[in-house]
Amino acid sequence: MTRVGAIPPPRRPGAYRLGFVCLGNICRSPMADTVMRARVDEAGLSGHVVVDSCGTGGWHVGEAMDHRAASSLLAAGYDPSGHRGQQLDDGWFETHDLLLAMDRSNLEGLGGRGERVHLFRDHDPVGTGGEVPDPYYGGEQGFEEVLAMVERTCASLVDALQCTPGLR
């Protein structure tokens, strides 16, 4: 079992690669991706940490984020416009230092927990080990809840990255 907050060491010198994984890559993982990029910039880690996201399913490859996810990000001061959907493939396990699954079913899609595969909320200081619920079929409120989980969990991931030797 992974210690809360601990992240694996980089595979190789250079940038640390973080990937967020959900089902469709239009709601939860793009929200985490967008917020994490902003936090990485603020922390002065641009160029040292590379962030992206994908879905285990391929229905939304090439598409922009869900409009409700984009609206909640915009309202909170983030820029969701750059997102385009991607699908997980075997290459992600080679290129990424850490893959973070938004829920348990996404974690299963990644083959389960491992040194470089965690549940996103393993790093959430509130409700550690929980899931980020899929907001796709619900209302706006679901997206606000996802954003709150994502903001505090990304802050704790930045703390962990700042403690990672060799990142600066």
Q: Provide the annotated active-site residues.
A: 22, 28, 134
Closest by CA position to 103, among listed 18, 29, 4: 29
144 binds ligand 4NP, rule: CB under 6 A: no
CA geometry: angle 18, 130, 62, nearest 5 deg: 45
Closest among 120, 140, 131 to 35, alpha carbons compared: 120
Between 44 and 59, name the residue whose CB sits nearer to ligand 4NP. 59
Nearer to ligand 4NP among residue 19 and residue 24 (C-beta): 24
Residue appearing with tokens 């927990």: 113
Minimum distance from residue 34 beta carbon to ligand 4NP (Å) = 13
78 forms part of the interface with ligand 4NP (CB under 6 A): no
- Segment interacting with ligand 4NP (CB under 6 A) among 21-29, 89-97, 112-120, 159-167: 21-29
**E-state strands within the chain:** 16-22, 49-55, 98-101, 117-119
Instruction: Work out which of 136, 152, 155, 167 binds ligand 4NP, going by CB under 6 A.
Output: 136
Contact region for ligand 4NP (CB under 6 A) — 7-15, 20-28, 76-84, 157-165?
Answer: 20-28
Sign of CA dihedral 55, 127, 94, 79: positive
Instruction: Decide if 98 contacts 115 (C-beta within 8 A).
Output: no
Contact between 25 and ligand 4NP by CB under 6 A: the answer reads yes
Closer Cβ to ligand 4NP, 10 or 85, answer by number: 85
